Amino acid sequence: MEEKKGLKKNLGVATAMAIVVGCVIGSGVFFKPQAIYTATGGAPGLGMIAWIITGLASIAAALTFAEVAIMIPKTGGMVAYLEEIYNPVVGFLAGWVQTILFYPAMTSALAVVCAQQAALFIGDGFTVPLAIGIIILIIFLNSLGSKVGGSVQIIFTVCKLIPLILLMIFGFVKGGGANPIFTPMVGDGLSPAVVLGQLMVAILFAFEGWTNVGAIAGEMKNPGRDLPIAIVGGVSVIMGVYFIINISYLWVLPANELAGMTAPASAVALKIFGDVGGKIVSVGIMISVFGACNGFVLSGSRVAYSLAEEGNFPFSKSLARLNKAQVPTNSIILVGGISCIYAISGQFNLLTDLAVFSSWTFYTLTFVGVMKLRKDRPDAVRTYKVPLYPVVPLIAIVSGIYVIINQIFMSGLQSTLLSAGSIAVTLIGLPVYMAVSKRKSVNNIVENDEKILT
Distance CA 203, CA 36 (A): 8
CATH of domain 2-440: 1.20.1740.10
Most confident of 3-7, 31-35, 68-72, 221-225: 31-35
Burial label, 2 (beta-carbon count in 10 A; 0-12, 13-18, 19+): exposed
Query: Residue 445: its pLDDT value, please?
Result: 66
The overall average pLDDT reported for the chain is 87
Looking at the chain, the whole-number percentage of residues with pLDDT higher than 90 is 53
Query: Residue 6: its pLDDT value, please?
Result: 38
User: Positive or negative, the Cα torsion across 393, 399, 405, 407?
Assistant: negative
Amino acid at 2: E
**Helix (H), strand (E) at residue 182:** none
Higher pLDDT, 25 or 76: 25
Q: Nearest Cα to 263, choosing from 285, 241, 293, 287? A: 285
Predicted confidence band of residue 217 (pLDDT cuts 50, 70, 90): low
Average confidence (pLDDT) over 248-256: 95
Residue 11 per-residue DSSP state: B
Give the number of other CB atoms < 10 A from CB of residue 358. 25
Q: What is the 3-state secondary structure (H, E, C) of 373-431?
A: HHHHCCCCCCCCCCCCCCHHHHHHHHHHHHHHHHHHHHCCHHHHHHHHHHHHHHHHHHH
pLDDT for 355 beyond 80: yes
3-state helix, strand, coil in the chain (%, to 5): 80, 0, 20
Burial label, 117 (beta-carbon count in 10 A; 0-12, 13-18, 19+): buried
Contact 428, 421 (CB under 8 A): no
**Helix (H), strand (E) at residue 190:** none
Distance CA 84, CA 363 (A): 15
Contacts with 41 (C-beta within 8 Å, 6 or more apart), sequence order: 186, 187, 188, 189, 190, 195
> pLDDT tens for residues 27-48?
788 999 999 999 999 999 999 9
DSSP assignment of 97-155 = HIIIIIHHHHHHHHHHHHHHHHHHHH-SS-HHHHHHHHHHHHHHHHHT-HHHHHHHHHH
Higher pLDDT, 449 or 55: 55
**Cα dist. 48→184, 400, 418, 439 in Å?**
11, 20, 26, 52
Residue 198 per-residue DSSP state: H
Residue 253 per-residue DSSP state: S
> pLDDT tens for residues 389-431?
999 999 999 999 999 999 998 878 888 999 999 999 999 999 9
Cα 363 to chain centroid, rounded:
11
Domain boundaries, the chain: 2-440
